[in-house]
Structure 1
Amino acid sequence: MTDQSAAVASEAAVVSEEALHKAQEFIEEEEGAANRLTGWLAALLSVLAVGVSIYHLYAAYGIVPAQVLRPMHVALVLLLTFLLFPVARRFRHRVMWWDFVAAALAIASIAYMIQGGDDFMDRNTTPGGWDILFGVALIALVMEAMRRTNGWIMPAVTGAFILYALFGAYLPEPWTHKGYEVGRLVGHLYMTLEGIFGVAVDVSSSLIILFTIFGAFLQYSGAGKFYIDFSFSAMGGKSTGAGRTVVLASFLLGGPSGSGVATTVTLGSVAWPMLAKVGYERNAGGGLLSAAGLGAIISPPVLGAAAFLIAEFLKISYLDVLLMAVIPTMLFYFALFLMVEIDARKYGMHEAVFEKVDTVWHLTRRYWFHFLSLISIVAFMMWGFSPVLSVFWATVVSAVTSLLRPETSLIPYDVFRGRGPILRQLWGSGLVKALENGTIGVLNVAATCAGAGIIVGVVTLTGLGLKFSSIVIDLAGGSLLLTAVYTSLVVWIVGLAVPVTASYIICAVIAAPALIKLGVPDFAAHMFIFYYAVLSEVSPPTALSPFAAAAITGGDPYKTTLQCWKYTVPAFLVPFMFVLDPSGLGLLLMGSTKALATANWWMIAEVTFTAAVGVAALAAGFQGWAFKKTTSVERVMFIVAGFALVYPSVVSDVLGFGLVIAALALQLFRTRTVPAA
Structure 2
Amino acid sequence: MTDSRETEVTVSEEALHKAEQYIEEEEGAANHLTGWLGAFLATAAVAMSLFHLYAAYSIVPTQTLRPIHVGFVLSLSLLLFPVARRFRHRIMWWDWLAALLSVAIVVYLIQGGDDFTDRNTLPNGWDVFFGVSLILLVLEAMRRTIGWILPVISICFLLYAFLGPYLPHPWTHRGYDIGRLVGFMYMTLEGIYGVAVDVSSSLIILFTIFGAFLQFSGAGRFYIDFSFSAMGGKPAGAGRTVVLASFLLGGPSGSGVATTVTLGSVAWPMLAKVGYERNAAGGLLAAGGLGAIISPPVMGAAAFIIAEFLKISYLDVLLMAVIPTALFYLALFLMVEIDVRKYGMGRTIFKKADTVWNLTRHYWFHFLSLISIVVFMLMGFSPVLAVFWATIVSFLTSFLRPDTAMISRDLFRDPGQTWRLLRQSPLIQALRAGSEGMLGVGATCAGAGIIVGVVTLTGLGLKFSGIVIDYAGGSLFLTAVYTALVVWIIGLAVPVTASYIICAVIAAPALIKLGVPDFAAHMFIFYYAVLSEVSPPTALSPFAASAITGGDPYKTTMQCWKYTIPAFLVPFVFVLDPSGQGLLLTGSTRTLATADAWSILQVTLTTAAGIFALATGFQGWLRIRTTLAERCLLIAAGCALVYPGLESHAIGFGLGFIALVLHWRRARSGTPPGAGRSGPQATGGPG
TM-score normalised per structure 1: 0.98
Matches within 5 A, 1:200-215: 200-215=196-211
Query: Is 1:137 paired with 2:151?
Result: no
How far is the alpha carbon of 1:287 from its aligned partner?
A: 0.3
Task: Tell me if structure 1 keeps the 8 A contact 2:455–2:506.
Answer: yes
Query: How far apart are residue 419 of structure 1 and its match?
Result: 5.9
Q: Distance in 2 between matches of 1:9 and 1:426?
A: 36
Give distance in 1, aligned partners of 2:514 and 2:5. Answer: 52
Superimposed CA distance per residue, residues 311-330 of structure 1 (whole angstroms, 9 cap, x where no aligned partner):
00000000000000000000
**1:484-531 deviation digits (Å, cap 9, x = unpaired):** 000000000000010000000000000000000000000000000000
Report matched runs for 1:298-313 at 5 Å. 298-313=294-309
Partner of 2:460 in structure 1? 464
Displacement of 1:422:
2.0
CA distance in 2, matches of 1:574, 1:655: 18
Question: Equivalent residue of 1:638, what SS?
Answer: helix
8 A contact 1:9–1:276 mirrored in 2: no
Q: Distance in 1 between matches of 2:416 and 2:34?
A: 24
Letter in 1 for 2:433: N
Provide the C-alpha distance between the structure 1 equivalents of 2:165 and 2:633, rounded to a whole number of angstroms: 52
Q: Which amino acid is 1:359 matched to?
A: T
Name 2:507's counterpart in structure 1: 511
2:101 to 86, 97, 105: 105
Q: CA deviation at 1:125?
A: 0.8
> Aligned match of 1:247 in 243, 247, 265?
243
SS of equivalent residue, structure 2 residue 565: helix
After superposition, the C-alpha distances for 1:385-426 in whole angstroms (9 at most, x for unaligned) are 000000000000000000000000001012344565222211
Query: Is contact 2:234–2:350 with CA below 8 Å preserved after alignment?
Result: no
Are 2:20 and 1:24 equivalent residues in the alignment?
yes
Q: For residue 397 of structure 1, what is the aligned residue in structure 2?
A: 393
1:352 to 345, 348, 354: 348
- Which secondary structure does the structure 1 equivalent of 2:91 belong to? coil
CA distance in 2, matches of 1:623, 1:471: 38
- Matched position secondary structure for 1:421: helix
1:326 aligns with 2:286: no
Task: Work out the CA distance in 2 between the residues paired with 1:69 and 1:332.
Answer: 37
User: In the TM superposition, what whole-angstrom CA distance separates every residue of 1:97-143 from its partner, at most 9, and x where no partner exists?
Assistant: 00000001111111111111111111111111111111001100000
2:85 alignment partner in structure 1: 89
* SS of residue paired to 2:200: helix
| Match of residue 546 from structure 1 | 542
- Residues 283 and 563, structure 2, Cα contact 8 Å, conserved in 1: yes
C-alpha change, 1:10 and 1:631, in structure 2 (3 Å) is: farther
> What is the distance in 2 between the residues matched to 1:449 and 1:360?
41
Q: Are 1:279 and 1:349, in contact at CA under 8 Å, matched by a contact in 2?
A: yes
Indicate conservation of the 8 Å contact 2:274/2:349, yes or no.
Answer: no
Aligned residue for 1:375, secondary structure, equals helix
Report the Cα offset of residue 13 of structure 1. Answer: 3.0
Deviation at 1:669? 1.3
The one-letter code matched in structure 2 to 1:111 is V
Deviation at 1:628, TM superposition (A): 1.6
Matches of 2:469 and 2:499 in 1, distance apart?
A: 20
SS at match of 2:238: helix
Give the corresponding residue for 1:196: 192
Q: Go from structure 1 to structure 2 and tell me whether the alpha carbon gap of 1:156 and 1:546 turns closer, same or farther (over 3 Å shift).
A: same
Matched, 1:623 2:622: no
Contact 1:56 1:205 in 2 (8 A): yes
Q: What residue is the counterpart of 2:681 in the other structure? A: none
The residue type paired with residue 656 of structure 2 is V
Q: What is aligned with 2:291?
A: 295
* Distance in 2 separating the partners of 1:22 and 1:425: 32
Contact residue 150 and residue 493 of structure 2 kept, 8 A: yes
Q: By how many angstroms is 1:350 displaced?
A: 4.1
Residue of structure 1 equivalent to 2:685 = none
TM superposition shift of 1:357: 2.4
**1:667/1:266 Cα in 2 relative to 1: closer, same or farther (>3 Å)?**
same
Distance in 2 (CA, whole Å) between partners of 1:12 and 1:417 is 45
Whether the aligned pair in 2 keeps the contact of 1:13 and 1:553 (CA below 8 Å) is no
Q: Is 1:651 the equivalent of 2:624?
A: no
Deviations 1:25-65 (A, max 9, x none): 00000001110001001011111111110000000000000
Deviations 1:564-600 (A, max 9, x none): 0000000000000000000001000010111111100
Matches within 5 A, 1:265-280: 265-280=261-276
1:523 aligns with 2:549: no
**Counterpart contact for 1:414–1:420, Cα < 8 Å:** no
- For residue 592 of structure 1, what is the amino acid of its counterpart? S
After the TM superposition, which residues 594-613 of structure 1 pair with which residues of structure 2 at under 5 Å, given as runs? Answer: 594-613=590-609
Identify the match of residue 578 of structure 2 among 555, 568, 582. Answer: 582
Match of 1:233 in 2: 229
Question: What per-residue deviation string (whole Å, max 9, x for no partner) do you get for residues 279-334 of structure 1?
Answer: 10111100000000000000000010000000000000000000000000000000
1:518–1:419 CA distance, 2 compared to 1 (3 A) = same
| RMSD, aligned α-carbons | 1.2
**1:389 maps to amino acid:** L
* Structure 1 counterpart of 2:99, one-letter code: A
Query: Would you say the 8 A contact 2:232–2:351 is kept in 1?
Result: no
Rounded to whole Å, the distance in 1 between the matches of 2:80 and 2:48 is: 14
How many angstroms apart in 2 are the aligned matches of 1:532 and 1:12? 39
| 1:452 equivalent in alignment to 2:448 | yes
Per the alignment, residue 170 of structure 1 pairs with 166
Separation in structure 1 between the aligned mates of residue 410 and residue 619 of structure 2, nearest angstrom: 55
How far off is 1:663 after superposition?
Answer: 1.1
Q: Separation in 1 of the partners of 2:202 and 2:232? A: 41
Asked if the contact 1:284–1:563 (Cα under 8 Å) also holds between the matched residues in 2, the reply is yes
Looking at structure 1, the residues matched to 256 and 13 of structure 2 have their Cα atoms a distance apart, in angstroms, of 21
Counterpart of 1:4? none
Partner residue of 2:144 out of 141, 148, 159: 148
Q: Following the alignment from structure 1 to structure 2, what is the Cα–Cα distance between the partners of residues 172 and 132?
A: 29
Question: Which position in structure 2 is the counterpart of 1:673?
Answer: 671
Distance in 1 separating the partners of 2:414 and 2:420: 12
Summarize the Cα distance change of 1:297–1:411 in structure 2 as closer, same or farther, 3 Å threshold.
same
Please name the residue that 1:3 is paired with: none
User: 2:684 is matched with which residue?
Assistant: none
| Residue identity opposite 2:233 in structure 1 | G
Query: How high is the sequence identity, in percent, across the aligned residues?
Result: 74
Number of aligned residues: 670
Query: CA separation in 2, counterparts of 1:10 and 1:175?
Result: 63
Change (3 A) 1:71 1:595: same
Q: What corresponds to 1:491 in structure 2?
A: 487
Following the alignment from structure 1 to structure 2, what is the Cα–Cα distance between the partners of residues 423 and 347?
55
Where do 5+ consecutive residues of structure 1 fail to align?
Answer: 1-7
Moved more, 570-579 or 416-425: 416-425
Measure, in 1, the Cα distance between the counterparts of 2:5 and 2:404.
35
Q: Distance in 1 between matches of 2:86 and 2:299?
A: 35
Amino acid at match of 1:387: P
CA deviations over 1:157-208 (Å, ceiling 9, x no partner): 0000000000111110001111110111111111110000000000000000
Query: 2-side partners of 1:108 and 1:643: how far apart?
Result: 56
Q: Alpha-carbon deviation of 1:336?
A: 0.2
The residue type equivalent to 1:585 in the other structure is Q
Kept in 2, the 8 Å contact 1:279–1:350? The answer is no
Following superposition, the deviation at residue 10 of structure 1 comes to 8.8
Structure 1 position 348, deviation (Å):
1.1
Q: Distance in 1 between matches of 2:276 and 2:637?
A: 28
Q: Which amino acid aligns with 1:599?
A: A
Paired amino acid for 1:446: G
Q: What TM-score do you get using the length of structure 2 for normalisation?
A: 0.96
Q: 1:117 aligns with which of 113, 117, 121?
A: 113
Q: Does 1:186 align with 2:162?
A: no
Partner of 2:367: 371
